[in-house]
Structure 1
Amino acid sequence: MEIVIVVLQACVVIGAIVLGVRTGGLGLGLWGVVGTVILVFVFHLPPGSIPIDAFFIIIAVITASSAMQAAGGIDYLVSIASKIIQRNPKRLTYVAPLVAFVFTVLSGTSNIFFALIPVIYETSYRNGQRPERALAASTVTSGLGITASPVSAAMAAYLVLMDGTGYGLPQILFITVPAAIVACIAASFVQQRLGKDLLDDPVFLKRVQDGTVEVPAALAERYAAKVGGPVPATGAAGGQSAGGSATGGAATGGSTPGTDAAPPAAKPTVFIEHPVPPGGMTAAMIFVSGTLLIVLLGLFPGLRPAFPDDTGELVPIGMSTIIEMIMFSVALVIILVRRVKPATVVEQPLLKAGFVAAVALFGIAWMADTFISANQETIIEPLGAMIQANPLLLAVALFIVCGLTTSQSATTNTLIPIALAAGLGPGIITAMWPSLIGVWLFPANGSQIAAVETDLTGSTKLTQVPVWHSFTIPMVVSWVAVVAAGLLIQLVVPA
């Protein structure tokens, strides 16, 4: 009978997550709360711990991020990333994914990647390269930045869960950052060798004939030689992205292995410009300085104020409190220095997206803790024993659940407590944690859809099979590489 009751409780948890995903937005968190209500009132389980610290870390970070966005700081970061990408067309498939990763780490959100999609597309297209290679790899690696950022929502949840394990922010970043860089390079290496060159791609050639897209200048001569006639005259937008970011003009870049780029004509480069409001650089520097201060205080606990605990021993204040203090302070400094109206901060898209993430984390984490705490002996310990016997099962579970929920923070709060209860070492858990890259498993994310819609050549695509699309191979390569590298790195990380 007890097993039947536990199964029914599990159905409530799974059902709440499924309904939350279907509802979307705030629905994930709200259904989590409803699931908690059912577990408490129907099954009489004691309510689990409310994830207060994780919730307010997210609120603090998104407040600072939104203040930076309102002051033009996001525009400044995008302009820097754009210049780096466009100045390295020959190595685009390697440079763009690393840039997407780094800027996600700095901002704590992969939303910054949306503004880079047209830049990556235009740079690859104008240089005669297959846009899918750089676009798909960059989309995937932007997700790796979430588990390597000290100010992401998922990191907020993970830090709270790892409190007391001996693994703080320094140890976590020491594993996730270099492992993610290895994964970026591995994904780029494989991606550079996938797909047909544009002049061999029947989808692109058909779109050229239909007038949907024009032949880029870098491929004009080779196209004429291939078809035995002039380049079709067309009124199409050419390489103009869906977002209309391009300013047109020639592009630079030469032939690289795995691309069909021809030697460029001697023309000046015309870059896609991202206007930055006055003071945007100042706002970005204030935010980045706050992020670096958090990392510094995490690396050197002696710099944090210490207070006596119950035993009278001086203990530095926790990193959760530090992040909340610094990020809220950063938001105020940006508002005062750049004279941003507080009402403008509240209207920013980042704040809305961050609030949805905070509510989702709150509801799912509360429900998961209620279920897990009440079923330690019945289900969690046997499940934990399986994970302990084969730790790779944790990586698989994280990958699949994140793909189903499309929420890194909710997946973290659902599965990491099980791994901790199983007695799995914090280093191994941290090495497995970037398996949240499974968020790209289904094409249900804005970045994936935007990349497909922006690529007028048709090289970046979805298929009728939900799990097979342009992002599948770089996602799987990144997953294997980041976990393998993390498991090796954690061996030398002191607790």
Structure 2
Amino acid sequence: ITASPISAAMAAMIGLMAPLGVSISTIMMICVPATLIGVAMGAIATFNKGKELKDDPEYQRRLAEGLIKPAQKESKNTVVTSRAKLSVALFLTSAIVIVLLGLIPALRPMVETAKGLQPLSMSAAIQITMLSFACLIVLLCRPQVDQIISGTVFRAGALAIVCAFGLAWMSETFVNGHIALIKAEVQTLLQQHTWLIAIMMFFVSAMVSSQAATTLILLPLGLALGLPAYALIGSWPAVNGYFFIPVAGQCLAALAFDDTGTTRIGKYVLNHSFMRPGLVNVIVSVIVGLLIGKMVLA
């Protein structure tokens, strides 16, 4: 999410960083390698974790009771239609268009703002581009529209809209109402220890289960407290802490997909299968992000 040019969290981040003169290219220059290295280290951390299926008691129990079939490779001759290929091509094209719009501001139309004529903001450009390509996919690829609105992706997106706006409005109201107190109490601490904003992002994302909502809640606070741009962008991968409490849709889906029972929630809830790779991923991503951010922006 924090390395995708078309995610809602990225759109929010671009809008918040724009007043500081930070573009999507700079954000991705920091976040893409940081996230990639974090994911790789998370995978390495779990490379030999757990038992082989032949030695796993839960898998053997399910196998003995006939709840699952023995794990084996299957070859399926899946026919991919031309419309399916076109839909994927259009989706990838939309991502390329967004990156180009961010890299070359001259491609964006000029709009009237309080500061005069300015290029269309990237957050608006992302929304317009994605909605336009979504319309093209529906018109040209003819998907089942009723399946779109009943799908898990659409439902999760609709829920995220409500959560993101609701939480963002609440946090902005709270921060603006108590900004003097917040600055007096925590500004010096955060400016001396900028990495603390990453810890705040992590636990807020664990509670709200939304990277976009966490971005809209805490980035304005960081900006109001005068934190440097490199610290905010470098710490931003910490918004991927939704795995900490395994109630997010991604965690539940992973549990449901793995019928071997090797992906599980432990007795104490927090000792679940996502904890080790998730923590390693976030910690490494933030460290690398801060290092790259300081080199690029400081």
Which deviates the most, 428-437 or 318-327?
318-327
Who is 1:238 aligned against? 70
Q: Report the counterpart of residue 242 of structure 2 in structure 1.
A: 439
Shift of 1:435: 0.6
User: Aligned partner of 1:171: which letter?
Assistant: T
Q: Distance in 1 between matches of 2:75 and 2:20?
A: 49
- Is 1:443–1:467's contact at 8 Å kept on the other side of the alignment? yes
Judged with a 3 Å threshold, the aligned counterparts in structure 2 of structure 1 residues 436 and 300 are, in CA distance, closer, same or farther, namely: same
Is the contact between residue 198 and residue 236 of structure 2 (CA under 8 Å) also seen in structure 1?
A: yes
Residue 311 to residue 278, structure 1, CA distance change in 2 (3 Å): closer
CA distance in 2 between counterparts of 1:381 and 1:273 reads 65
If the length of structure 2 is used for normalisation, what is the TM-score?
Answer: 0.89
- Aligned equivalent of 2:16, options 161, 170, 192: 161
> Match of 1:315, SS?
strand
Question: Which runs of 5 or more residues in structure 2 are unaligned?
Answer: none
List per-residue Cα deviations over 1:372-404 (Å, max 9, x = no partner): 112110124422332212112111111111112
- Out of 258, 263, 271, the residue aligned to residue 460 of structure 1 is 263
Matched, 1:331 2:134: yes
- The answer to whether the Cα contact below 8 Å between 1:398 and 1:433 also exists between their aligned partners in 2 is yes
> TM-score normalised to the size of structure 1?
0.56
CA contact (8 A) 2:38 2:285 kept: yes
The answer for the alignment partner of 2:30 in structure 1 is: 175
Distance in 2 (CA, whole Å) between partners of 1:271 and 1:433 is: 41
For 1:156, give the aligned amino acid.
Answer: A
- CA gap of 1:308–1:454, structure 2 versus 1, over 3 A, is closer
Q: CA deviation at 1:351?
A: 2.7
> Conserved in 1, the CA contact under 8 Å of 2:190 and 2:196?
yes
Aligned residue for 1:359? 162
2: CA distance between counterparts of 1:338 and 1:456?
33
Name the amino acid aligned to 2:21. G
1:287 pairs with 2:142: no
Deviation at 1:289, TM superposition (A): 0.5
Structure 1 residue 369: Cα displacement: 0.8
Percent identity of paired positions between Structure 1 and Structure 2: 34
Are the counterparts in 1 of residues 11 and 122 from structure 2 also a CA contact under 8 Å? no
Deviation at 1:448, TM superposition (A): 2.1
Confirm or deny that 1:303 pairs with 2:107.
Answer: yes
Which residue does the alignment assign to 2:7? 152
Shift in Å at residue 212 of structure 1? 4.1
Distance 1:415 1:294 in 2: 25
Q: Which residue of 2 aligns with 1:29?
A: none
Work out whether 1:489 is the aligned partner of 2:283. Answer: no
TM-superposed CA distance for 1:163, in Å, is 2.5
**Of 374, 392, 404, the match for 2:195:** 392
Rounded Cα–Cα distance in structure 1 between residues aligned with 2:158 and 2:257: 28
Are the aligned partners of 1:187 and 1:478 in contact in 2 as well (CA < 8 Å)? yes
| Contact 2:246–2:252, Cα closer than 8 Å, also in 1 | yes
| Equivalent residue pairs, number | 298
Q: 1:421 aligns with which of 224, 227, 241?
A: 224
Compute the displacement of 1:202 (Å): 3.7
Which SS does the other structure have where 1:163 is aligned? helix
Distance 1:192 1:297, change over 3 A: same
1:308 shift after superposition? 6.6
CA RMSD of aligned residues (A): 2.5
Taking a change above 3 Å as real, the CA distance of residues 379 and 177 of structure 1, as seen in their structure-2 partners, is same
Contact 1:153 1:357 in 2 (8 A): no
Query: Shift in Å at residue 306 of structure 1?
Result: 3.4
Alignment match of 1:316 (pick from 91, 95, 119): 119
Task: Give 1:446 deviation, angstroms.
Answer: 2.8
Give, in angstroms, the shift of residue 494 of structure 1. 4.6
d(CA) in 2 for partners of 1:207 and 1:349? 28
**Residue type of the partner of 1:271?**
S
Structure 2 counterpart of 1:369 = 172
Distance in 2, matches of 1:336 and 1:178, equals: 36
Alpha-carbon distance in structure 2 between the residues aligned to 1:429 and 1:170: 15
User: Which one-letter code corresponds to 2:120 in the other structure?
Assistant: I
2:12, 2:123 within 8 Å by CA — same for their partners in 1?
no
Amino acid at match of 1:189: I
**Alpha-carbon spacing, 1:297–1:280, altered in 2? closer, same or farther (3 Å):** same
What's the secondary structure of 1:331's corresponding residue?
Answer: helix
Instruction: Please state if 1:350 is matched with 2:205.
Output: no
**What does residue range 470-489 of structure 1 map to in structure 2 within 5 Å?**
470-489=273-292
1:15-34 correspondence runs (5 A): none
The residue type paired with residue 425 of structure 1 is P
State whether residues 15 and 121 of structure 2, in contact with CA within 8 Å, keep that contact through their aligned partners in structure 1.
no
Matches within 5 A, 1:26-425: 146-208=1-63, 210-212=64-66, 236-239=68-71, 251=73, 270-272=74-76, 276-306=80-110, 315-339=118-142, 345-425=148-228
| Greater radius of gyration (CA) | 1
Most deviating of 381-390 and 300-309: 300-309
Contact 1:183 1:478 in 2 (8 A): yes
SS for the counterpart of 2:2 is helix
